Amino acid sequence: MSLPPVARPQRNGVSAFWEKVLSEKWQARVAVTLIILAALFPIIDNNEGDIDAAANATAFAMLALGLNIVVGFAGLLDLGYAAFFAIGAYTCGILASYQVQPDWSSFWEPFQWLGLVEHLHTTTADKVHFTVSFWLVMPLAALVAAFFGVLFGAPTLRLKGDYLAIVTLGFGEIVPIVARNTPYLTNGAQGLNGVNTPKLFGYSFGVMSTPYYYVGLIMIVLLIFASMRLKDSRIGRAWMAIREDEIAAEAMGVNRTRLKLLAFAIGAGFAGATGTFYVAKLQTATPEMFMFPVSVMLLVMIVLGGMGSVAGVVVGAVFLQLLQSWFLQDLTQGVHWLGQVTGIAFFERIDLVQSIELIFGIVLVIMMLYRREGIIPARRAVTALTVAEQAAMPTRGADIKGPEKLHHRAVDLAKPLLEVRGLRKSFGGIQAVRGLDLTVMPGSIVAVIGPNGSGKTTFFNLVTGLIEPSGGQVVLAGENITGLKPDAIVARGAARTFQNLRLFANMTLLENVLVGAHARTHAGALGAVIRPPRVRREEHEAREGVLGILGIFGNRLMPRIQHLARTLSYANRRRLEIARALMTEPVLLLLDEPTAGMNPTETLELTEQIRGLRDRGLTILLIEHKLNVVNEIADKVIVLDHGEKIAEGTPEEVHRNKEVLSAYLGRTAATVAATAS
Amino acid sequence: MTFQDVLLQQIINGVSLGAMYALLALGFTMVYGIIELINFAHFNIFMVGSFFALWVMQAMGIVGQSTILWGFPLVGVLLIALVVTMLGTGILGVAIERLALRPLRGVSGTAPMITTIGLSYILFNLILLNVGADSKNYSNPLPQLRWEIGGATLRLRELMLWSIALILMVGLHYFVRRTKMGKAMQATAQDQEAARMMGVDVDRVVVITFFLGSALAGAAGLIFGLYYNYTSFIIGYSAGLRAFTAAVLGGIGNIPGAMLGGILIGLIESLGGQYVAVRWTDVIIFSILVLVLVFRPSGLLGAAAPSKS
């Protein structure tokens, strides 16, 4: 795919340096250098204490990467992340320690044969000793943690995001309590003992830190790889879309419940795997290791590094770990020295190591107030177009007459594409839509007009599933779609734009449009990470499709393809909404006031483009207030007033209709107008 | 003690706890009603409040439970402690709103909530670093008056707490329903934009809301200390979670709902502690939170499910 080059500014000195360091080619080089340095670290610094601190730091970097998927990518605030860490840890503790010892029976023999348990001969009784291998426990713990993630995420996911925060906070609180209250499984407050150490090819890790450090490092590299791949995939884009605007994401075919649960489960799974690693390294687990402060520390790591930024999160995690284990000690001495020199007693007493949690709190507040995107933002601002690029003459309707159809569905031209029968919706006592009937034939442009509050947008919301009808039926291409979820309706070929613009503001144009492809592409989380040929092909085709669709708008959108949607002008936002809806490959396109806020030239341009879309196989239903647009392109006009259809016909017929005149102009004025003509 | 006596005793205890949770829940619910934000700082404003009250009483020479007062001195001391504490936490809440939350008003996503978590953590650690991790013996000038009702005991302490909570809640109810400011609050909760266009100074409404909510949290802090005879840096966490559950149970954003929810949570805590086990109380209350969110997210008295995003 060939993207138009994005202009980079000429900068000098320090910013030019950073520009270079942060450019993609350099990012890879910096990453490889850092990995090599990290791999050499135990050889360079042969101090067991330092290596131990570094091995512990890897665990927290892993956790931060997992939390970043939940908080950074999907925008779900999880305040009890340590609970999943605990679940992983205790899964390992139970499957690979002396903690749980049921009585021996023949039931255990096959497991003994598989090497999962040992027959323990004690003086009093024969017991079972679980000895499941570390390498088996780790994926198992991830699954168990993911299961709990789904279990506790599910109740809150249909509510506002805040509720997830409070439920996870509560979950984070009770998991250590349950651990303390079930000594049979966890040995309560004393903590697990005798956790088996991992073995690899007969070599036991024992209590030295170096092997754990390398396992941690490899896991981090894998998790970074998985995070990067996920972020730039169908799944990652759907998460970001949910984070930006849940309703728009749903209307573009994203099943938000499923994707939120997926994010939650993957995040929990990361934590579960890390729990296993951490317990194996420490050889114990106590409830105190998984309390609220751990969750807060992880949150600080990702907030400091940059929510959603994989590199930022790793930097944040490593920095905070080093701060705790190395820097603060030295800093405290420095401050004490300052106190002695200046004679300020306060400085002499201060202990920064003790104040670490206070520092965490301050970091959270300062970052939120002054730098919400973190040290290394997930996105760098793309520079605005140059004057020359902006002044370039918009080519109107460049590819508009392209021969190919915009969708690949078979449409029976003889039957109505959309049939609405007796559709009703009431909000409390107000009947917004009452008994609406209408049919839309394939390949036509039907305009819905009516005074403000006549139920036009409610009608659109009912057809696209954003609200559920109180009665009646909506049939699309012979299939009853009444009451389906918006994402299911998109998948069946009806896509829409919004009157009040619901773009994914912090995603690029390219990503915005790619979200539209969600419902008709298939890559799952695993496919997104591994990227088999099928997924690559699908992604490639989707990107080609984006270029084709943006081409409809000439050079209005194309040069800005890597810009964030929130930087667009109002008219371009309207165009982008249409492009995003087209990407779902609809047969029926519902446009809610597409030309609102456009000047006459732009309106004319868009009118032609809408007609072009019809010529390429789409059926269009549009709400429009500009009657010249309606007269120009509509084959049929439907007039709504107080939720009822008061007229239907060609634009000319509707213009002569007295009821329409009275609805728009009031009774008296209508009489006057009628007499005058 | 017979079963009825135990039950009565636990109801007395539960209502006392419930009064405290209700005061705390009001702060959550009022702030949520106005600006749709879960204010995690509220957890620890409550905790700081219990220390403010302790310090005020210590400054008046009442240390521990040895100084017993009667009559006017008792009422005076409690009144001073209550008023100073409520002013203190109220101002703390206003400062938090002005310095850290107002700049983030209108920022979507998780940023405002993360800020309140940071603020909560700052308060928590400031107290921890200043007073230490051990629990502090609370000043309590109440005489040990008690009345036997069957086998159950009603102490002056409980009567005192009930009346403080009742007076505050009636006062709040009157304020919200009858005063101009209260009406402005209701209007802002309904529709901020419309209220602004009708001349309501929304910034001022938000400040007053934070002041009232935080002041009530301070009162709850004093009640905690008088009831349990101790306080500690750590009390905000579980009390806050219970109070939040109370707010959700009653219907978030709904003031009478918060009062009802608070009393119910208090009863559940005391009865659950009696008939299940104290160590499982948190788990029971958390389960209630999850169940309410699943089956009745609008709460007992709430009107609409908080599902908009």
Digit-coded pLDDT (tens) for B112-163: 999 999 999 999 999 998 898 899 999 988 888 888 888 888 888 899 889 9
**CA dist list (Å): A176 to A673, B236, B296:** 77, 17, 27
Scanning A279-308 for CB atoms below 8 A from B yields 292, 296, 299, 303, 307
pLDDT in tens, A24-34: 677 778 888 88
CB atoms within 10 A of CB B61: 10
pTM confidence score: 0.88
Helix axes A570-583, A533-551, angle to 10 degrees: 140
Q: Which of residues 437-496 of A touch B (CB under 8 A)?
A: none
Closest residue on chain A to B126 (Cα): A358
Taking the Cβ of residue B167 and every Cβ of chain A, the question of whether any pair is shorter than 8 Å is answered with no
Q: List all residues 6 or more positions away from B152 whose beta carbon is below 8 Å from its beta carbon.
A: B1, B5, B6, B8, B9, B12
**What is the rounded average pLDDT of the residues A74-93?**
91
- Count Cβ atoms below 10 Å from residue A315 Cβ, excluding itself: 21
pLDDT digits (tens, 9 = 90+) for A90-133: 998 888 887 888 888 888 888 888 878 878 787 777 888 888 88
3-state SS, residue A437: strand
- Rounded to whole angstroms, the Cα distance separating A74 from A649 reads 46
DSSP string, B125-168: HHHHHHH-SS-EEPP------EEEETTEEEEHHHHHHHHHHHHH
**Could you say which residues from 112 to 141 on chain B have a Cβ atom under 8 Å away from some Cβ of chain A?**
112-115, 117-122, 124-126, 128-129
Q: What is the pLDDT of residue A399?
A: 47
Instruction: Report the half-sphere exposure of B17 (CA within 13 A, side-chain side).
Output: 23
Using CA atoms, how far apart are residues A433 and A455, in angstroms rounded to an integer?
6
Q: What is the mean pLDDT of chain B?
A: 89
CB A637 within 8 A of CB A648: yes
Please say whether the beta carbons of A368 and B114 come within 8 A. Answer: yes
Q: What is the pLDDT of residues A383-435, one digit of tens each?
A: 666 666 665 555 544 444 555 778 888 888 888 999 999 999 988 778 889 88
Residue B271 C-alpha, separation from nearest chain A C-alpha, in angstroms = 19
| Mean pLDDT rounded to a whole number for chain A | 85
CA distance A599 to chain B (A): 28
> Residues A423, A473: contact at Cβ < 8 Å?
yes
In sequence order, the 6+-apart residues with CB closer than 8 A to the CB of A465 are A481, A483, A484, A485, A486, A488, A489
Q: Hey, what long-range contacts does A46-54 have (CB within 8 A, 24 or more apart)? A: A48/A208, A48/A209, A51/A209, A51/A210, A51/A213, A52/A209, A53/A321, A53/A325, A53/A326, A54/A209, A54/A213
B-chain residue closest to A153, CA distance: B290
Angle at A141 between CA A137 and CA A143, to 5 degrees: 120
Q: Which amino acid is at A628?
A: N
Rg of chain B in Å (alpha carbons): 19
Tell which wins on pLDDT, A9 or A187: A187
Residue A219 has pLDDT above 90, yes or no: yes
Q: How many CB atoms lie within 10 A of CB B9?
A: 19
Q: What is the pLDDT of residues A149-168, one digit of tens each?
A: 998 888 777 776 778 888 88
Q: What is the identity of the amino acid at B185?
A: M
Identity of the residue numbered B187: A
Regions of chain B where pLDDT drops below 70: 303-309
Instruction: Give A499's DSSP letter.
Output: T
The verdict on a CB contact (< 8 Å) between B293 and A364 is no
Tell me which long-range contacts A256-263 makes (C-beta under 8 A, separation of at least 24). Answer: A256/A157, A256/A487, A257/A154, A257/A157, A257/A158, A259/A74, A259/A235, A260/A74, A260/A76, A260/A153, A260/A157, A261/A149, A261/A150, A261/A153, A261/A154, A261/A157, A262/A235, A262/A525, A263/A69, A263/A70, A263/A73, A263/A74, A263/A76, A263/A239
Instruction: From chain B, pick out residues whose CB is under 8 angstroms from the CB of A171.
Output: 286
Confidence grade of residue A5 (pLDDT, cut at 50, 70, 90): very low
Which among A67, A79, A169 is the top mutation candidate for probing chain B, defined by the most B β-carbons within 10 Å of its own β-carbon?
Answer: A169
Amino acid at A171: F
pLDDT tens digits, B256-271: 899 999 999 999 999 9
Other CB atoms within a 10 A radius of the CB of residue B190 amount to 10
pLDDT at A143: 96
Buried b (16+ CB within 10 A) or exposed e, A359-388: bbbbbbbebbbeebbbbbbbeeebeebeee
Q: What is the mean pLDDT of residues A241-253?
A: 92
CA–CA gap between residue B206 and residue B202 (Å, rounded): 6
When mean pLDDT is compared across A317-326, A375-384, B156-165, the lowest value belongs to A375-384
User: What pLDDT score does A168 carry?
Assistant: 87
CB A26 within 8 A of CB A20: yes
B95 touches chain A (CB under 8 A): no
Block residue for tokens 């807060």: A296
pLDDT tens figures, A610-620: 999 998 889 99
Q: What are phi and psi of A665, to 5 degrees?
A: -110, -5
Distance between CA atoms of A65 and A233, rounded to whole angstroms?
Answer: 17
pLDDT higher than threshold 50 for residue A8: no
pLDDT for the residue A360: 92
Determine how β-strand A418-427 pairs with β-strand A430-440: antiparallel
Distance, in Å, from the CA atom of A217 to the CA atom of A219, rounded to the nearest integer, reads 5
pLDDT at A668: 61
Pairwise CB contact (< 8 Å): B307 & A299:
no
Contacts of A524 (CB under 8 A, 6+ apart): A235
User: For residue B67, what is the DSSP state?
Assistant: -
Residue B154 bridge partners (DSSP): B147
Report whether A260 contacts A70 (CB < 8 A): no
Whether the CB of B289 is below 8 Å from some CB of chain A: the reply is yes
pLDDT score at A165:
85
Let me know: does A274 contact A63? Beta carbons within 8 Å: yes
Predicted confidence at residue A377, as pLDDT, reads 83
Span A454-510, pLDDT tens digits: 889 999 999 999 999 999 999 999 999 998 999 999 999 999 999 989 999 989 999
Residues A494-532 pLDDT 10s: 999 999 899 999 899 999 999 999 988 988 899 999 999
Q: Give the 3-state secondary structure of residue A127.
A: strand
User: At A432, which helix (H) or strand (E)?
Assistant: strand A430-440
Quick check: B110 and A77 CB within 8 A?
A: yes
Q: How far apart, in whole angstroms, are the C-alpha atoms of residue A538 and residue A545?
A: 10
Q: Do A368 and B279 touch (CB under 8 A)?
A: no
Bridge partners of A471, per DSSP, are: A424
Judged against a pLDDT cut of 90, whether residue A284 lies above it is answered with: no
Half-sphere exposure (CA, 13 Å, Cβ side) for B298? 6
pLDDT of A35 > 90? The answer is no
Cβ–Cβ below 8 Å for B38 and A303: no
What pLDDT score does B84 carry? 97
Among the listed ranges A178-192, A412-426, A571-585, which one has the minimum average pLDDT value? A178-192
For residue A370, pLDDT over 50 is answered with yes
